[in-house]
A and B are shown apart, each in its own frame.
Chain A
């Protein structure tokens, strides 16, 4: 089995699905000739031609809107939004059209679109290339929102998203693209949407995360293990709908829960996870549910020391985990 990067796993998933199903096509800004600004779609236009790898104008509402139209016609578009920060013009198409298609047509029409977008910071992207936008979509029934953190999950979830007959938002953490590597089988496999994954078994504290911060949690867990503290790490993988069972089980196992995500704290996905735990597991809790998140400020700064101050890192996660374990 090859060890490949997170972004290569994403390219592999798209290539395999495009080979498997001629209805699958890619559209977005610079996805064709350039191969994507992050090189996520490199090699695709050479293999599948310009009819299936389409360079769109700079108009996100059209990227998604055209995709929705094609999907209604029976195709399986993979619409790329170049940076998640730019998804705003497409929100109406996503929320009011794609998400409601099946419901409002009483099953006559469906919308098998996958919308991919790189999110997250730590790359000096500043205000408009670093945002975490997932919380805007994790309360829209009719949509699914996934955010893998490992290359294995990225390939499996993207294939599952493409095959899903309903709209799926696929958020890729841009810092994970080349930093995170892992074993990815070359076989055809999918990872189920709606299922979280225990990435590390433990018995003292439970840490729930997704995206880049999941890796910080794992690094911090390694460090804590040397101090005799055993952390149970749960990767959400799907942010909407949340895997309530897995969350409750992980929380009840230790009674002490820390939720970590890069998105800002108030209104983030962590709040929903905390509410689920409070509802289902009150009598198993040994400590208040803690959240370690980005600060509640309008955007990630450009200035490097301020970006570093804003971002989470393994040390900040380690401190929070240790404090919880000692409570």
Chain B
């Protein structure tokens, strides 16, 4: 068996040595510790002693050659001696080093302490496809270029979508549009999205119409992420729910008188204006308690009747439509509802709505009357079952007791999801709202 003899380390910070002279040649017999060669380094000249007894079988490094510490310099064919070759002490090349932990017991504690620091960090938990986590770089690129990350296959660990994956899609020209409308991108209607510049994204095929040509003088407005989201939601709502529509006329003369009477003191005491909307919302909420089916959702194989009554109200700003929610409106008085409306409207316009403000609505009340409309056909706020528009209050001649009188009249227009509701229940619901509104008068409690 041929033992390898390696270039030993002959001093601190010495990293290589030169064989200045071989003291043996192939075929020579040597005893253990006999000098084999003279080695020179820039710090010291020394001899390399043999580590075994035997016959020199092969000289690997020539005289005058400089090699790194630990390099093989010759082979010795061992003859007969009891102890096997101990490899020379070039510690940096020692392959058995890792196994010698048991040499010094006091060292065991430091190793245990050092272990956590030195071991490679445990592999990150594999991401389940359903709960992807995206790095900041991936999110930024996806938002800038309108990439739908749920459709990107990740090449990273555990299927992670990496920056390179997204960049590759961008370089290849972007994603292909889908045939169904993209699912609600609710997070984008957060306050941050309003102020963020969004490059024109790819529009889904269902949302885009046939090829539209532009003529000189036409103004091209890029679709912002808000506008795109509104578009997608409207399409989805109309596509999924068969809309039916009905309307009643309500005589709110007494309400108008009452409100005109009460508004100054209300303003003085509460610090906010008493508008008509809180009265309408209150009437709707009370009627919803009477007809809970109106406060429900179609869920495929079941209808879920919601217990909480969270009223979504539509707030229009210059370039967007927000639909914040008054939570638990049935637990609020007229004052409470008025305060909620004021708060949500203000924060909508300031772009400060939170995700919580925008979610959980069960029925929508739409104040179309504020822009003078007397009739409208609102689109249901999916996944709710119905939406009520309150039109403008207009003085009209009407017939009462076979006589003509001038009364303040308002139309209430209801769009309903005909999978869940039908005319009968909606009609009764509207009658209930009508009666409540027509009975508002000087005795109505605001608190």
Q: Report A's interface with B, CB cutoff 8 A.
A: 38-39, 122-125, 174-175, 177-179, 204, 255, 264-265, 282-287, 290, 293-297, 301, 303-310, 316, 319-320, 323, 326-327
Q: B137 touching A285 by the CB < 8 A rule? A: yes
Q: A327 touching B160 by the CB < 8 A rule? A: yes
B residues 72-114 near A (Cβ < 8 Å) are: 89, 91-92, 94, 97-98, 100-101, 103-104, 107, 110-111, 113-114
Shortest beta-carbon distance from B277 to chain A in Å: 41
B13 within 8 A of A: yes
CB-based nearest B residue for A311: B92
**Contact segment of B47-55, B115-123, B252-260:** B115-123
Across-interface contacts of A175 in B (CB, < 8 A) = 13
Q: List 21 A-B contacts (CB under 8 A).
A: A39-B43, A123-B13, A125-B12, A174-B13, A175-B13, A178-B42, A204-B164, A255-B137, A264-B117, A282-B136, A283-B137, A283-B139, A283-B140, A284-B136, A304-B89, A304-B91, A304-B94, A309-B114, A310-B114, A326-B156, A327-B162
Q: B111 touching A308 by the CB < 8 A rule? A: no
Shortest beta-carbon distance from B12 to chain A in Å: 5
Q: B42 touching A304 by the CB < 8 A rule? A: no
Shortest beta-carbon distance from A132 to chain B in Å: 15
Q: B117 touching A295 by the CB < 8 A rule? A: yes
Across-interface contacts of B92 in A (CB, < 8 A) = 122, 308
Chain A CB within 10 A, most for which of B14, B121, B137, B160: B137
Shortest beta-carbon distance from B66 to chain A in Å: 12
Using an 8 Å CB-CB cutoff, how does the interface string of B19-53 with A read, 1 for contact, 0 for none? Answer: 00000000000000000000000110000000000
CB-based nearest A residue for B113: A297
Known: A284-B136, A285-B136, A286-B135. A123 touches B12 (CB 8 A): yes
Q: B160 touching A178 by the CB < 8 A rule? A: no
Q: B15 touching A308 by the CB < 8 A rule? A: no
Distance A162 CA – B233 CA, assembled complex (angstroms) = 69
Shortest beta-carbon distance from B353 to chain A in Å: 24
Distance A124 CA – B10 CA, assembled complex (angstroms) = 12
Distance A309 CA – B40 CA, assembled complex (angstroms) = 30
B192 within 8 A of A: no
Using an 8 Å CB-CB cutoff, how does the interface string of B401-436 with A read, 1 for contact, 0 for none? Answer: 000000000000000000000000000000000000
Known: A282-B136, A308-B97, A327-B124. A178 touches B107 (CB 8 A): no
Question: B120: which of A255, A301, A305, A323 is its contact (CB, 8 Å)?
Answer: A323
Distance A327 CA – B163 CA, assembled complex (angstroms) = 11
Across-interface contacts of B91 in A (CB, < 8 A) = 124, 304-305, 307-308
Shortest beta-carbon distance from B118 to chain A in Å: 5
Question: A305: which of B43, B100, B124, B135 is its contact (CB, 8 Å)?
Answer: B100
B304 within 8 A of A: no
CB-based nearest B residue for A174: B13
Q: A286 touching B162 by the CB < 8 A rule? A: yes
Q: A320 touching B120 by the CB < 8 A rule? A: yes
Distance A326 CA – B162 CA, assembled complex (angstroms) = 10
B138 within 8 A of A: yes
Distance A1 CA – B370 CA, assembled complex (angstroms) = 84
CB-based nearest A residue for B139: A283
CB-based nearest B residue for A310: B114
CB-based nearest A residue for B90: A304
Q: A326 touching B157 by the CB < 8 A rule? A: yes
Question: B114: which of A204, A283, A297, A319 is its contact (CB, 8 Å)?
Answer: A297
Question: A306: which of B12, B111, B136, B157 is its contact (CB, 8 Å)?
Answer: B111
CB-based nearest A residue for B100: A305
Distance A285 CA – B137 CA, assembled complex (angstroms) = 5
Chain A CB within 10 A, most for which of B12, B13, B117: B13
Distance A286 CA – B139 CA, assembled complex (angstroms) = 10
Shortest beta-carbon distance from A6 to chain B in Å: 10
13 further A-B contacts with Cβ under 8 Å, apart from A124-B91, A305-B101, A305-B103, are: A175-B13, A177-B13, A286-B137, A295-B113, A296-B117, A304-B91, A305-B94, A306-B107, A306-B111, A308-B94, A323-B121, A326-B156, A327-B162
Across-interface contacts of B12 in A (CB, < 8 A) = 123-125
Shortest beta-carbon distance from A309 to chain B in Å: 7
Known: A283-B136, A285-B137, A305-B97. A178 touches B118 (CB 8 A): no
Distance A308 CA – B113 CA, assembled complex (angstroms) = 16
Across-interface contacts of B140 in A (CB, < 8 A) = 283-284
Q: A178 touching B117 by the CB < 8 A rule? A: no
Q: A178 touching B13 by the CB < 8 A rule? A: yes
Question: A255: which of B100, B123, B135, B157 is its contact (CB, 8 Å)?
Answer: B135
CB-based nearest A residue for B156: A327
Distance A303 CA – B89 CA, assembled complex (angstroms) = 12
Known: A255-B163, A326-B157. A303 touches B104 (CB 8 A): yes
Across-interface contacts of B164 in A (CB, < 8 A) = 204, 286
B residues 130-149 near A (Cβ < 8 Å) are: 135-140
| CB-CB nearest 4 A-B residue pairs | A295-B117, A304-B91, A286-B163, A295-B114
Q: A286 touching B103 by the CB < 8 A rule? A: no
